[in-house]
Amino acid sequence: MDTPAGHEAVPVAEANFHGVFALELAGGQAPARAALPPAQAGELAVHVGRDLAAMVDGVAGLELALAAAHFDPAEALRPGWPLHRRLEELRVRAPGRGQAPRVLAFGADAAGAVPPPLQSEAALAGGGLRVLPFVLAGPADALAPVAEALEDTLLAMGMARADTALLAQDNFDARIEHARYLSAHDLAAMMAMQYDNQGLGALWGVVEAALLAPQAVEWLDAGPEPLLRLEAGQVRMALFDPGGWCAHYHGGSAESGQCDRLQRLYEHFLARQRQLAAVLEAHGLPVLYVHCDGQQDPRTLLAQAG
């Protein structure tokens, strides 16, 4: 439609929906391929788009961009949603924008090399669940009802069709038990349950705050857990020497001899601290250790550090 003389066209506001194609691996065996070459990536994206369109009306009128490369869930659940943001940047730069809605796939190049935005971290390669991020994009008014319906539908009814699961299995050279679609929020809820089952439920509140409320200040202050504080995307963790730990958690002192008797518990505390730090860093949250010797309130030291 032509724009009337003297009037400028008003840009249509775009919005996007973040989801993942989740692959549950049989026996936790890692896929042989990290990413798919162009032809296979495109074929998988077409199948994903077809599956989603069959679940919710309106998906077919939106653009789909799929990362044909798999990642650990923690890589998809980082502040600012960097995997989805990179995928959105690739979508915007791809040829044909502004024409009919596209189905796009980004993976390895024709020679099999995987570009940095789609390279998963080797240190996180051993998990039994791998995820392929995807983005649905379109005019905000068209996307809003679709996104709401997907949030309501995927967790309960988001299983991929058998031919899509088989295609992913063959192309990634993997043994897949289940293949399903999740919203990014569904994935977060699933990880929250897993962390709770693994005794990490208290830490999830910190990760969730970093994801959903990046300006918030969040504490983990629940002894005997390590003391930490999230602010501005960084975690400050109290690093206690034996006397400081004994004083903070047990009200003891070096002079009383109580701390010596608790040495084994202190070693367990240090191991727990390393575990929590590894989880936080997997979620893209750098950990800054703040030395606490028991002379000052460690909460004050964490609040002042930076």
Assess contact for 77 and 142: CB atoms under 8 A: no
Mean pLDDT value across residues 1-10 = 48
DSSP state of 78: S
Q: Is 153 exposed, middle or buried (0-12, 13-18, 19+ CB in 10 A)?
A: middle
Residue/partner pairs of 25-28 with CB below 8 Å, 24 or more apart: 25/128, 25/129, 25/130, 25/174, 25/175, 25/176, 25/177, 26/175, 26/176, 26/177, 27/128, 27/175, 28/126, 28/127, 28/128
Listed residue (294, 79, 291) closest to 302, CA to CA: 291
- pLDDT at res. 256: 55
- What confidence tier does 275 reach under pLDDT thresholds 50, 70, 90? very high
Give CA separation, 256 vs 41, 124, 157, 292, in Å.
66, 44, 60, 20
Question: Comparing 125-134, 193-202, 204-213, 244-253, which segment has the lowest mean pLDDT?
Answer: 244-253
Q: Which CATH class is domain 201-304?
A: alpha beta
DSSP state of 123: G
Phi, psi dihedral angles at 181 (to 5 degrees) = -105, 140
- What confidence tier does 3 reach under pLDDT thresholds 50, 70, 90? very low
Measured CA to CA, the distance from residue 260 to residue 256 in angstroms comes to 9
**Contact partners, residue 4, CB within 8 Å, separation at least 6:** none
Query: Within 13 A of 120's CA, how many CA atoms are on the CB side?
Result: 26
**pTM of the entire structure?**
0.91
Measured CA to CA, the distance from residue 137 to residue 62 in angstroms comes to 6
Rounded mean pLDDT of the chain? 92
Domain segments of the chain as ranges: 14-197, 201-304
Both tokens of 74, joined, read 């923690």
- pLDDT at 128 > cutoff 50: yes
CA-derived radius of gyration, the chain: 23
DSSP state of 113: P
- pLDDT at 306 > cutoff 80: no
- What confidence tier does 1 reach under pLDDT thresholds 50, 70, 90? very low
